[in-house]
Amino acid sequence: MKAAIIMGSKSDYPVIEKAEKVFEEFGVAYETRIMSAHRTPRAAEEFAKAAEEKGFEVIIAAAGKAAHLAGVLAAQTPLPVIGIPVKSSTLTGLDSLLSTVQMPKGVPVATVAIDGGENAALLAVQMMSIKYPVLREAMRSYKKHMEEEIMALDEEFQNGR
């Protein structure tokens, strides 16, 4: 169980840190790197081409503004790629979202919400749970715990009115 997390800039780390915490909670090994689709295109291409051979099973790519990183990686690997559009200062992340989600036929990128680090890692866990039943059971427990927390909050809210 191993995932790659690639961010286009060090400034994306607050979003990526949330994904790392999810992987740690689920016991998924990960490697976090900084690569740019535009400033280090050869490094990104080489990483994507070698990712499967290095034991990665899914790649998460976070980028802002033009946000082509997920697509560049997806074009070079058969592994699933999950894109995280990162909120930018200019268009509040809409530019990143559209750049990540609007992929051409044949180069799919699963895309989560703007700054959706947790959901990217949770989606990666769900993808890997196809191969690893222990992750599927952990995801069932996670969802059950989430449900119980909300039900407790609802009960507290109803009793406190």
Q: Which segments of the chain have a pLDDT < 50?
A: none
Q: Is the CA virtual torsion 51, 52, 55, 56 positive or negative?
A: positive
SS3 call for 91: coil
Instruction: Please check whether the domain covering 2-128 is classified as CATH 3.40.228.10.
Output: no
Residue 152: exposure state from Cβ atoms within 10 A (0-12, 13-18, ≥19): exposed
Show me where the domains of the chain are located.
2-128, 133-161
pLDDT the model gives residue 88: 83
pLDDT the model gives residue 134: 97
Please report, for residues 27, 145, 147, the alpha-carbon distance to residue 3 in angstroms, rounded to integers and kept in the order given. 11, 24, 27
